[in-house]
Chains A and B, each alone.
Chain A
Amino acid sequence: MCPECGAPVALHAGVERHEVVSCPGCNTELEVMSVDPPSFYLAALEEVDWGE
């Protein structure tokens, strides 16, 4: 369930912990905290030191 809007979020095959997915209800980026059972937290917003 999306922690932002409460919509159910289904995980597609192969998703793993720490991957980022989008909530189908509100498009918020969610980081997968646990795959089974699925749980999420709001993905951190991009910071100025992120990158290559």
Chain B
Amino acid sequence: VSSNIRVGLLHSRMRVEEKLLRDALVAEGLEVELVDDRELTLTLGEPVRRWDVVLERSVSQTRGLAVLRVLESWGIPTVNPAPVVAACASKLETSALLEAAGVPTPTTIIAFSPEAAVNAAAELGFPVVVKPVAGSWGRLLARLNDRDAAEGLFEHKGTLGGPEHSVFYVQRHIDKPGRDIRAFVVGDEVICAIYRESDHWVTNTARGARTRNCPIDGTLREMTLRAAAAVGGGVLAVDLLEDGDALLVSEVNATMEFRNSIDVTGVDIPGHVARHVRDVARGARVAVAV
């Protein structure tokens, strides 16, 4: 039965996730148009009116966010909303919002010159972790074990990295137990969580980490929902670190990948997302009607 809700599925490549999401949307009775962001043109002042809601799945954060900004200006509801995606695209912005909301995160210092970054690392105490302010899939992460390494890395970033790499994001290293936790949020629910296990200190699945189901207890649920709310909520993957008995939120992802998390959790992640997309479209219709 068609609900006559028309979904634009914004994508670049068609990865496993996009195919699963497309199938889940169709299974919910929604009409789906695949929209390749590389072929898309948007004329400002001439709103496209053929989508009731757009699900943004661009592999490029820059393109995805640019499209969302235009759709937002046209009043088209999106999953996720542009401000949420913008908040998650910048680790600095994410950290600032988490701090403002009182969500525990690893101590982070922002510095603006190689020399100041070395001093920040020494202040935190080695080892420290350095991340690009914008980045994903574990790219360009560095763990610095001593001052010599810090001086070398920050000089290279300052000299070779371009302006965006001259904002130095330096974070206390958390001696996690060979894993981190990724919790999946859809709307106001934590639908499942996984451990990402690796012998390497970087535990991204894009870097080969193994996944295992993580039971959701009250603390994990509460921390995850607080982190999601801090960036504006929606469909989000919240990454958490175990620091002894404490949980710290390290980052929040707005265009989450989940291919390795369905089987281990037994949760129909794309189905949850599809129903959320439907609800967002229906909510917008109700708002217009009121």
Contact = CB atoms under 8 A, between A and B. Distances in A.
Interface of A: 16-20, 31, 43, 47-52
B134 interface: yes
Interface residues of B, number: 25
B134 A31 contact: no
Interface in B196-219: 206
Given A18-B11, A47-B60, 11 more contacts: A18-B13, A19-B15, A48-B139, A49-B60, A50-B137, A51-B135, A51-B137, A51-B206, A51-B255, A52-B136, A52-B257
B253 interface: yes
Contacts of B256: 52
A18 B36 contact: yes
A52 B253 contact: yes
Interface in B1-25: 11-15, 19
15 contacts: A17-B14, A18-B13, A18-B34, A18-B36, A19-B14, A19-B15, A19-B19, A20-B15, A47-B60, A48-B139, A49-B61, A50-B60, A50-B136, A50-B137, A51-B59
6 A-B pairs with least C-beta separation:
A51-B136, A52-B253, A18-B14, A49-B62, A19-B14, A49-B61
Nearest to B136: A51
A51 to B, nearest CB: 2
A47 B11 CA distance: 15
B252 to A, nearest CB: 10
Nearest to B12: A18
A37 B115 CA distance: 58
Nearest to A32: B14
Nearest to B134: A49
Given A48-B139, A51-B136, A52-B137, A19 B13 contact: yes
Contacts of B13: 18-20, 31, 43
A2 B136 CA distance: 30
A16 B14 contact: yes
Most A CB contacts (10 A, CB to CB) among B12, B13, B132, B254 go to B13
A20 B11 CA distance: 13
B237 interface: yes
B168 to A, nearest CB: 17
A51 B252 CA distance: 12
A17 B136 CA distance: 25
A17 B137 CA distance: 24
B237 A48 contact: no
Contacts of A17: 14
